[in-house]
A = this chain, B = another copy of it.
């Protein structure tokens, strides 16, 4: 028996009508394909914000533990309503909260990690011909405390359930009809990709193509869960996220997409004495302040001092600059400088592994448009550049065209 896990996000179940539409889709699919179906749903859109606002009127910094108790009600409402809609269409259905499935997590409230999933009851219900509806985003500790997996955690629930149930496919239904070569709002010629590898998807997701939560993609990769992103509202096959190996023999495009991130800021500590332990002396206080670091570049100058540059989220810019000034004084470095009007643009593709000259093609294309590159960072399947904020759209369109991604 083929088993598909579906996930519908908040906008897909945002109103009574939309929930009924999802029910119709599911009943149609079950009739057509005969597949077993497990459906993971989010809270109705707006509910999470409404509850967060309520919480803030209660407590300046709402308790993470109580926030989980509060927010987990959102998905619980959706599972009940979707089961009713399914039953109204004559389809037997059963609802599960995270705690009822026993999606066991650690006790890191508001960002818990799944440790174990009990599947016996779900499997029995599937065998009984029922559609199983599971509340996304939530779990329960060994002690029975309600936890949530953090924003976007319903994707993680779907993938984790698919892995635990050994599902044939995990389908993430959303308000976009697949993964695009870049953001169509920036480049109207952007194309939907039929396939993308897990590795590319990871790079695309972390770089701001926020279709899937990065953790769910990692999870899917780890457990070899075939993942498909598709639209709740528009018919279509979406984008299948594949394992690279499957496509080894195929002619791969060099580049799959152009990702970008607007929320970056760049800081530099110049004239740092070049000695062992310096990088850690700089980065440890930053990470101790819970600031996440993205790109890191270090250049050693002739005079045995080094310039150390890295990027952080724009919200952390001021705080980072303050911490860095203290570090500058301690290390006897030259000076601190920064820029919070920068963005990161990246080309992503497994094809670049086996092709030389990709980096030079990228830099040339940008140079021809007069775009100055402020920082470069590369990985095996990605090249990222930092450029001035004002060049973002131009850079994305230039690279999209240069690497032949535009629709004909």
Binding site for B on A (CB under 8 A): 16, 19-20, 51, 54-55, 57-60, 62-63, 66-67, 69-70, 72-73, 76-77, 79-81, 83-85, 87-88, 95, 97, 99-100, 144-146
- Smallest Cβ-Cβ distance to A74: which chain B residue: B73
Is the contact region of chain A dominated by helix, strand, or loop, or is it mixed?
helix
Complex interface: chain B residues within 8 A of A146 (CB): 97, 100
Complex interface: chain B residues within 8 A of A81 (CB): 54-55, 58, 66, 70
Contact of B99 with A80 in the complex, beta carbons under 8 Å: no
Contact partner of A76 (CB less than 8 A), chosen from B60, B67, B73, B83, is B73
Contact partner of A59 (CB less than 8 A), chosen from B54, B57, B84, B144, is B84
Contact of B100 with A87 in the complex, beta carbons under 8 Å: no
Complex interface: chain B residues within 8 A of A67 (CB): 80
Copies in the complex: 2
Contact partner of A80 (CB less than 8 A), chosen from B55, B57, B85, B88, is B55
- Smallest Cβ-Cβ distance to A17: which chain B residue: B57
Contact (A69, B60) CB under 8 Å given A84-B55, A144-B100: no
Nearest CB of B to A326, in Å: 33
Contact of B58 with A88 in the complex, beta carbons under 8 Å: yes
Contact of B95 with A57 in the complex, beta carbons under 8 Å: no
Complex interface: chain B residues within 8 A of A19 (CB): 58
Complex interface: chain B residues within 8 A of A70 (CB): 76-77, 80-81
Cα(A62)–Cα(B77), bound, Å: 13
Contact partner of A63 (CB less than 8 A), chosen from B73, B77, B87, B97, is B87
Cα(A95)–Cα(B67), bound, Å: 11
Contact of B79 with A69 in the complex, beta carbons under 8 Å: yes
Cα(A9)–Cα(B183), bound, Å: 50
Nearest CB of B to A73, in Å: 4
Nearest CB of B to A262, in Å: 34
Complex interface: chain B residues within 8 A of A62 (CB): 84
Contact (A77, B51) CB under 8 Å given A66-B95, A95-B69: yes
Cα(A274)–Cα(B329), bound, Å: 108
Contact of A59 with B88 in the complex, beta carbons under 8 Å: yes
Contact of A66 with B54 in the complex, beta carbons under 8 Å: no
- Smallest Cβ-Cβ distance to A75: which chain B residue: B73
Nearest CB of B to A83, in Å: 5
